[in-house]
Amino acid sequence: MVNVNPSAEYSHKALARLGDIQLEKGLTEEAIRIYTRVATTYPKTEGAWVSLIRIADIGVEGKFKAPPGWMFPNDALRNPIDAYWQVVKEASQSRLSHVAYLRIAAFHLKEGDLRETIDSVQVFLKKFPKSPLANNANIIMARAYFEEIGRFYRPEQFLRVVRTYSEFRSIVPDWVSLLAKPYKAMVEVGESYMRLGLYKEANEVFGKILGSPQGVLSAGGEAIFRMAQSALLSGDRTKAKDLARSFITRFPDGERTPSIQAILGEIAWHEKSPRTAVSLLADSLKGELDNELKARSLYILSESNAQVFRYAESVEALRKAIALYAKIPGKVKPFSLELANYRLGDMLYEGRRWIGSLVAYMGAVEAFPKSKLAGWAYHRIGKIQGHLNLQGRLKAPPKPTVSATADRFWSDVTRFRSESSKWEKRNSSRVKELDSTAVLN
């Protein structure tokens, strides 16, 4: 070790600098010995405070393993937070207190104590509003907010994501937050707005990403896809198509290509091009789609297949969509579960799968008895009974039989047929009109 005159005025600084040199060389153990000597020999000096911060930093990093039986005159390595607070209290008039404050905030961030991180930074900014480290403080706070957004986004707590983002925007200046590379968090915020049905707000967030060159590089493909999806969900299919084409031009091999195909497939279905829709949607479903988009694509694929009379494929897609429905997060669902259950009966009916259709309609009425489509289901059940020639089978003899009364299925069929007759009487003119156009088969 280099000898330093302990009585020299700046010996504590010189020794602390010597410790830095050893640390830069990778000689961590020797550096700690020097820092410890400074902290104990020259307490409450700049060199001592630097040394305490350095030892605490090594402790926070966690890479240094002390040799067995190695003793320290101070506890900064094992309790870094206490060392930082010691500097804050002792060096209140020194710039090192600013450094120690931010080290405390960074320590909380590393430990995942996000609210303590935010609180620490806010205390710092209130205490030292003109500190040259104010930007660094804001960046630490921004990163804490971004991590908190992700923490709420992953368990699908979308309202808490939006509230956290609003709080963040009210505290951290935009130009500072950009330094913290916020784009992943902004995508999560935009999607959360979408899940809550707030498409205008979602587009504003995605627009901010695309307005930054760094944002385009970092999350441009995801932002364009989400903007296209948001436009489609809000009913602006023209904008959705333009954005989808923009994605294909700018990101031809992007990870979201299957998702963009799904959007274009749905637009094709709305534009009365079911064969194009079937082709695009079938291709999209071969790739990776999130559950919401996958369920929506399956539903549209079912409708498109039905329009080209491919009823078996239509039924298969619709059943898969219904099975996925429960896994969709947020308030905005990809389709109406009520309508899908009744449409399943329709697809089976049109494909002449009478028993399957009968069961599907009965299940739909049981699940959604107050639906406006219940009458239509009753009517179709009556038609199916005619196709299957069930009328005679369902006439109960003087003594009830198992098939007519005890078996719940046939009991329900009997009840549904009664309801079907009532519905047909109330809607006789409409039924004649539909029959004349061969809709009811």
**How many beta carbons lie within 10 A of that of residue 331, not counting itself?**
10
pTM over 0.85: no
Tell me whether residue 395 is in a domain: yes
Tell me whether residue 195 is in a domain: no
**How many beta carbons lie within 10 A of that of residue 151, not counting itself?**
15
* Contact between 311 and 351 (Cβ < 8 Å): yes
Which residues, 6 or more positions from 326, have their beta carbon under 8 angstroms from its beta carbon? none
Tokens for 262, please give them.
Answer: 């799904």
Tell me whether residue 420 is in a domain: yes
Q: Which residue has tokens 């091009």?
A: 273
CA 261 to chain centre: 21
Residue pLDDT tens, the chain, 441 long: 445 545 545 678 888 888 888 888 888 888 888 888 888 888 898 998 998 999 898 888 887 777 666 665 567 778 889 999 999 999 888 899 999 999 999 999 999 999 999 999 999 999 888 999 998 999 999 999 999 999 999 998 999 999 999 999 998 887 777 777 889 999 999 999 998 989 999 999 999 898 888 888 888 899 999 999 999 988 899 999 999 999 999 998 889 999 999 999 999 999 999 999 999 999 999 999 989 999 999 999 999 999 999 999 999 999 999 999 998 877 778 899 999 999 999 999 999 999 999 999 999 999 999 999 998 898 898 888 888 876 545 443 444 333 333 444 445 555 555 555 555 566 566 555 545 444 443
Tell me whether residue 198 is in a domain: no
Tell me whether residue 399 is in a domain: yes
Phi, psi values for residue 364, rounded to 5°: -65, -45
Tell me whether residue 304 is in a domain: no
Handedness of CA 360, 363, 364, 370 (dihedral sign): positive
Handedness of CA 421, 427, 433, 434 (dihedral sign): negative
* Contact between 228 and 263 (Cβ < 8 Å): yes
Q: Which residue has tokens 């504590």?
A: 12
Predicted local distance difference test score (pLDDT) of residue 218: 87
CA atoms of 389 and 374, how far apart (whole Å) = 22
Predicted local distance difference test score (pLDDT) of residue 121: 94
What 3-state DSSP class applies to 395? Answer: coil
Which residues, 6 or more positions from 436, have their beta carbon under 8 angstroms from its beta carbon? none
Tell me whether residue 181 is in a domain: no
Overall number of domains in the chain: 1
**How many beta carbons lie within 10 A of that of residue 379, not counting itself?**
21
Containing structural domain, residue 440? 350-441
* Contact between 152 and 160 (Cβ < 8 Å): yes
Tokens for 78, please give them.
Answer: 């094992």
Tell me whether residue 241 is in a domain: no
